[in-house]
């Protein structure tokens, strides 16, 4: 529902929507074109043929496209901090992270998924693999885990952004690194890069290791052949998440010198849940757009505010996620 509402708002300007989709297609298609140029010069890389390497990149690109579709707004955390919206998210009853994920519809993810689907279909036509039920489930699990791994890595970068200024460039570094090195067999890189992409920034588990098992290249896997089965464990480990100390201190607000908001502001007695304390209900109804002719259910949705007003459709989505019982303490 949230994604559909975001897409409808994006479709209000069809030119911007088309450009966003084209941007996603253009960025991902360069990966495929680069691989094609490489294989026009070298028929195989360390025993991996074109279809097998396309499987590596396809798993990674599908995972990346799904990440961008559902969680891609994590990259907007620096922008949200500068605009002061991240501070506003923390005053509302919905989880802050969920409000970040639903801030806007990432339209360029549609272009990413289109290119990933085309690449996957091409590589499957080139591969001679017996697709048993187990192999199909293994491939689907690999794509899901690729999404989770990218989510976990970006969550840790978002934590650094909340704590340290200037660290937002790590978002671009991770995206470029995964796009440059994550589409090829790990065995073609030096040992130092094999170690980094396996035990440091585990992007190899988002494509290479699952593809090595599917294509029968487990003998080329560095360190241990057991790593081809480890990607679900890596996906779970990399998403272990605890809010950093800087997040609790509201660095976005503190950096501008404004006083820290009151996290435990209680609703005034007699007010309906979620309305602005001390402001007549009729004024709040006018601000959020409720009219007497609308249903009680619609009005109750508008009552999910804490204090503050909804200023745009993305904020409205974040404000309608969870009701507040009477007397709730807003955190």
pLDDT digits (tens, 9 = 90+) for 103-158: 877 777 777 888 888 888 888 888 888 889 999 999 999 999 999 999 999 988 88
Name the average pLDDT for the chain.
72
Which domain does 304 fall in, by range?
262-319
Domain contains 331? no
Domain contains 256? no
Do both 60 and 171 map to the same domain? Answer: yes
Do both 244 and 310 map to the same domain? Answer: no
Domain contains 164? yes
At 209 the pLDDT is 92
| Structure tokens belonging to residue 132 | 């048993």
Domain contains 254? no
Do both 11 and 97 map to the same domain? Answer: yes
Question: What distance in Å separates the CA atoms of residue 26 and residue 261, rounded to the nearest whole number?
Answer: 43
Q: Over 50: is that where the pLDDT of 258 sits?
A: no
**How many CB atoms neighbour CB 95 within 10 A?**
14
Do both 35 and 99 map to the same domain? Answer: yes
Do both 17 and 134 map to the same domain? Answer: yes
Who wins on pLDDT, 144 or 216?
144
Do both 128 and 227 map to the same domain? Answer: yes
Q: Which of 248, 275, 299 is the last residue of a domain?
A: 248
149-185 pLDDT, tens digit per residue, is 999 999 888 888 888 877 888 888 898 888 888 888 8
Do both 313 and 214 map to the same domain? Answer: no
Do both 84 and 220 map to the same domain? Answer: yes
| Structure tokens belonging to residue 264 | 């435990």
Do both 238 and 292 map to the same domain? Answer: no
Report the share of the chain in percent with pLDDT over 90. 14
Domain contains 104? yes
Do both 301 and 227 map to the same domain? Answer: no
Do both 213 and 68 map to the same domain? Answer: yes
Question: What distance in Å separates the CA atoms of residue 49 and residue 123, rounded to the nearest whole number?
Answer: 10
Domain contains 153? yes
Domain contains 269? yes
**How many CB atoms neighbour CB 147 within 10 A?**
21
Domain contains 327? no
- Number of structural domains (the chain) is 2
271-319 pLDDT, tens digit per residue, is 344 444 444 555 555 555 555 555 555 555 555 443 333 334 444 444 4
Helical H runs in the chain?
Answer: 2-10, 14-41, 50-71, 77-83, 85-89, 96-101, 108-126, 133-163, 169-181, 191-195, 208-215, 231-238, 245-248, 251-255, 281-288, 296-302, 313-319
Q: Which of 196, 219, 248 is the last residue of a domain?
A: 248
Do both 135 and 270 map to the same domain? Answer: no
Sequence-separated contacts (24+) of 296-305 with Cβ below 8 Å: 303/272, 303/273, 303/274, 303/275, 304/93, 304/273, 304/274, 305/92, 305/274, 305/275, 305/276
At 43 the pLDDT is 64
At 3 the pLDDT is 56
Q: Over 50: is that where the pLDDT of 247 sits?
A: no
């Amino acid at each position: 529902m949230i994604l559909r509402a975001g897409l409808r708002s994006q479709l209000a300007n069809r030119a911007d929507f088309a450009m966003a989709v084209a941007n996603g297609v253009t960025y991902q298609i360069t990966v495929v074109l680069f691989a094609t140029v490489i294989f026009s010069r070298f028929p195989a890389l360390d025993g991996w043929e074109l279809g097998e390497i396309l499987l590596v990149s396809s798993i990674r690109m599908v995972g990346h496209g799904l990440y961008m579709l559902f969680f891609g707004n994590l990259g907007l955390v620096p922008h949200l901090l500068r605009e002061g919206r991240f501070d506003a998210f923390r005053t509302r009853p919905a989880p802050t992270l969920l409000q970040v994920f639903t801030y806007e519809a990432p339209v360029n993810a549609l272009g990413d998924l289109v290119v990933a689907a085309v690449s996957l279909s091409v590589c499957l036509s080139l591969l001679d693999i017996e697709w048993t039920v187990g192999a199909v489930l293994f491939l689907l699990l690999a794509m899901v885990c690729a999404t989770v791994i990218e989510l976990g890595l970006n969550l840790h970068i978002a934590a650094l952004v909340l704590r340290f200024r200037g660290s937002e460039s790590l978002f671009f570094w991770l995206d470029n690194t995964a796009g440059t090195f994550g589409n090829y067999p790990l065995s073609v890189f030096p040992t130092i890069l094999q170690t980094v992409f396996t035990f440091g920034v585990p992007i190899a588990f988002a494509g290479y290791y699952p593809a090595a098992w599917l294509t029968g290249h487990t003998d080329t896997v560095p360190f241990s052949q057991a790593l081809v089965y480890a990607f679900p464990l890596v996906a779970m480990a990399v998403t272990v998440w605890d809010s950093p100390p800087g997040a609790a201190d509201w660095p976005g607000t503190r950096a501008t010198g404004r006083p820290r908001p009151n996290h435990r502001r209680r609703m005034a007695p007699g007010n309906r849940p979620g309305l602005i304390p001390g402001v007549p209900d009729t004024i709040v109804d006018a601000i959020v757009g409720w009219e007497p002719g609308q249903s009680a259910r619609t009005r109750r949705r508008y009552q999910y505010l804490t204090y503050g007003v909804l200023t745009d459709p993305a904020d409205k989505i974040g404000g309608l996620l969870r009701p507040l019982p009477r007397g709730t303490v807003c955190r």
